[in-house]
Structure 1
Amino acid sequence: MLQHFHFKPLFENSQLPGWIITFYYKQQYYKAEYKKDGKINWIGIKPSEEELPVVEKMVHELMLFHVYD
């Protein structure tokens, strides 16, 4: 489960898509850029290859709920 999930627009004009997301997963802090097409560009460390699909799925679900709802 992702904890302390936060997102903020990349641009002052909130009509332009793109967000910076931050969260904790398994007590590790992550930061990434979430693109309008759903692509995630990790800033710094990223989850292990084994956990990456699970984490990305959770991020997509949260972004759908908070941004696209």
Structure 2
Amino acid sequence: MISHFNYKEIKNNLINQEWSFSFFYQQKRYTGKYYKDGSIKWTSPEDINEEDRKFLETAIHDLMLYHVYEDH
């Protein structure tokens, strides 16, 4: 389970939008950048196994859609 999810807008213009994010998963801190097209660039840790990476990218995508794009 992901805990302490945080995000911050880095860039917001007509061409690019990007956010930085961080969270904890299995007692490790993860950070990265999320881009408008849904792509993710991981900044740490660098050694994410494939199964965890797929799960985390789906979870981050869902969280960003909820927090950024949906009206609350």
TM-score, normalised on structure 2? 0.83
Aligned to 2:59: 58
Instruction: Return the structure number with greater relative CO, CA threshold 8 A, min gap 6.
Output: 1
Alignment of 1:1-69 (within 5 A): 1-11=1-11, 14-15=12-13, 17-46=17-46, 47-69=48-70
Q: Which has the higher helix share?
A: 2
Q: Percent identity?
A: 37
Following the alignment from structure 2 to structure 1, what is the Cα–Cα distance between the partners of residues 27 and 61?
Answer: 20
Give the superposition deviation at 1:24.
0.4
Query: Could you report, residue by residue, the CA deviation over 1:7-50 in whole angstroms, capped at 9, with x for unpaired residues?
Result: 00113xx4551100000011100000001101000002143112
Q: Which has the higher strand share?
A: 2
RMSD of aligned residue pairs (Cα, Å): 1.4
- Which runs of 5 or more residues in structure 1 are unaligned? none
TM-score, normalised on structure 1? 0.87
- Which runs of 5 or more residues in structure 2 are unaligned? none
Q: Which runs of 4+ in 1 moved over 6 A?
A: none
Q: Number of aligned residue pairs: give it.
A: 67
